[in-house]
Amino acid sequence: MADPIEILLISGSLRDMSGNTAVLRTAIALGDERSRLSLYEGMAGLPQFNPDDDPDGGPVPAPVAELRMALDEADGVLLCTPEYAGALPGSFKNLLDWTIGGASTYGKPVAWINASSRPEAGVNAHHSLRLVLDYASCDIVEDACRRIVVPRDAVGSDGLIADPGIREQIAAVVRVMVDHCADPARDAFSPSARPTPQQALERADAEFFAALLAADRTALDALLHEEFTIVDVAAGAVHPRADFLEAVAGGAVAFRSIESHPGEAIVRVYGGDTGIVVGHTSMSFAGPDGAAVVVESRYTHVFRHDGRRWRLVAAQGTPIAGL
């Protein structure tokens, strides 16, 4: 018989008799021989995150080392967090911040349960959670990310949930997680196969130039944010998304060659959902009047991550004098 799948459970709440923690404790009670579920209980002991205390290759505080070891040893991670003041609870976000430097969740199967007492609650917190997990290049198990309504009175004095309907929903999440972690096909999600956020941003930047060269409306439509604006390199004119799409896909502006010099690019990711690429291009294209334009330029691209992929929000090019 294969070794059981190790699932680490982490609650985003420090409250006694928390409904979120009760969901995870109930998950442990519902586990079977295929899995071994354990609840992480060290969140209150984590120090406040400070990058100075997380040096590359250096020692970290003992509670942080214990958290990272627990994550390293787990085959998958199941989270359950409330929303507080419209966002993730500070103590839970602090825990997530400590996971980044250790790359403990890189390529790791992760899912969450939204266990609010109201069906519409927790949206902001879980949107933020997705951004953080995507930044950390987690393997988000979409089918295991569930909203389960847990009334405040559903938690018994033993800290568990007795309602059979809720228990079955929790058990279903565990089954999906275990199946996913045990699936040999998920080797494609191994850390070595998943791009870092910077690599994904570089790839999105390259896809933009490829879509321009191919006049690919479908690719551009997916890449360009709804609020996309471009300042063109030829005349400094400002073009909104719809006009730019029509000009490129309709052939009014036809790109003949683009070399983006990726080795010279400066790529930065901020906060997990904002990215900036400063690069160098050599391009030739025909403008709406048919005149050929050949230009060497520096460009700045601003991207936003929508929880699934990087999308270009703004672009500006500046000709390089003398070239």
> Both 185 and 208 in a single domain?
no
Range of the domain at 298: 197-319
43 within 8 A of 91, measured Cβ to Cβ: yes
Q: What is the pLDDT of residue 306?
A: 77
Q: Is it the case that residue 119 has pLDDT exceeding 80?
A: no
Q: 305 with 206, same domain?
A: yes
**What six digits make up the tokens of 131?**
């951004």
Q: What is the pLDDT of residues 264-310, one digit of tens each?
A: 999 999 887 899 999 999 989 887 878 888 889 999 999 998 766 78
Mean pLDDT rounded to a whole number for the chain? 88
pLDDT per position as a tens digit, 203-236 = 889 889 888 888 888 889 889 999 999 998 877 8
pLDDT at residue 131 tops 90: no
Whether the pLDDT of residue 80 is over 90: the answer is yes
d(CA 41, CA 263): 45
CATH of the domain at 94: 3.40.50.360
User: Among 189, 214, 241, where does a domain finish?
Assistant: 189
**Domain shared by 87 and 47, yes or no:** yes
Q: Provide the percentage of residues in the chain whose pLDDT is more than 90.
A: 53
Choice between 170 and 126, residue whose per-residue pLDDT is larger: 170
Same domain, 116 and 239: no
Give the pLDDT confidence score for residue 51 in this predicted structure: 87
Q: What is the pTM of this model?
A: 0.61
Q: Is the pLDDT of residue 44 over 70?
A: yes
For residue 36, CA distances in Å to 27, 62, 158 come to 10, 24, 21
Cα distances (Å, whole numbers) of residue 224 to 35, 205, 211, 304, 310: 42, 11, 11, 10, 9
Based on the fold, state whether residues 160 and 249 are members of the same structural domain.
Answer: no
On whether both 91 and 165 belong to a single domain, the answer is yes
| One domain, residues 46 and 180 | yes
Torsion of CA 157, 96, 202, 195, to 10 degrees: -70
| Average of per-residue pLDDT across 17-38 | 93
